[in-house]
Amino acid sequence: MDVRPENAIRDLQELKDEAWTAEVEHGGEALTLWQTRVRTVMERSLGPGHHLTGALEDVRYTLSAWSSSTPDYYSDRARHAGIRQTCGLIDAAIYDLRLSLPAEEPADQRAYDPELWEYVKRTVEAEDWPKVPAMVATFVENHVRTWTGDPVDSHGGPLTGEGLFSKVLADDSEFRLGETGSEIEGWRRLGVGFAQAIRNVDPRRIQSRNDARRYAIGVLGLGSLLLTQLRHEHPEPFQIVTVETDE
């Protein structure tokens, strides 16, 4: 990548701080320029093929449908929801980049959901990077399923992967994330994307890649982001669940 991690971290933090200035919040040219700068920094530091860079494509800043009678504040709420979702992706990118910096510890446990970190930390500390994504996928899905009462499909079978996140984060679900329609949709897409891109691949085969560390840390950041938001919005039902590991 052609941007040093420490410079990218600084630039992304500045962009996150800029997100809620009056100019960007109002939309228009300032918002478009802000979106472009966020994408540029993430592409040049993480790579255009990184899943966090790709997730920017799914962020919506406008209503999916509107008419001449739609109140202006609906559009404002949709735009602000998109800004918040992008800021979440910026946070995940910063976590990823921080862990690529030289340090005494292979990862900073304060950056992640504490239970998830406890589950993967020995594997991370051993730098067994190919195992980490599958462990994260298993942990996140297990917790989401357990926290939400083991939801089932129309045939009474256990929901897994894409089906689980689609139901748990559905518009009418008590466990949905976000306040506005576009924000709820964004979090659902993030959860379903996690299941499709990570859960459906990594538990089934060992990936051989020269960026295994960066990829594993990115998956860890995304899994932590989902768990952190679930705990934040639904703290009461999401109690500690112990998952045993052979590590």
Task: Give me the DSSP letters along 68-113.
Answer: TTS-HHHHHHHHHHHHHHHHHHHHHHHHHHHTTS--SSSS-GGGS-
Residue-wise pLDDT for 57-78, tens only, equals 999 998 877 767 677 778 889 8
> Same domain for 60 and 156?
no
pLDDT of the chain, 247 residues: tens digit per residue:
567 888 899 999 999 999 989 999 988 999 999 999 999 999 999 988 899 999 999 999 988 777 676 777 788 898 999 999 999 999 999 999 988 776 444 456 677 888 999 999 999 888 888 899 999 999 999 999 988 888 888 888 888 888 999 999 999 999 899 988 899 999 999 999 988 888 766 555 555 677 888 889 999 999 999 999 998 888 876 655 444 444 4
Nearest-angstrom CA–CA distance, 62 and 70: 12
Portion of the chain with pLDDT greater than 70, in percent:
85
Q: Looking at 48, 76, 102, which one is the last position of a domain?
A: 102
Q: For the whole model, what pTM was predicted? A: 0.54
How many structural domains is the chain composed of? 2
Q: Are 91 and 225 in contact (CB under 8 A)?
A: yes
Q: Looking at 51, 79, 102, which one is the last position of a domain?
A: 102
> Same domain for 61 and 121?
no
> Same domain for 76 and 124?
no
Q: Looking at 75, 102, 129, which one is the last position of a domain?
A: 102
pLDDT at residue 200, as a whole number: 65
> Same domain for 47 and 149?
no
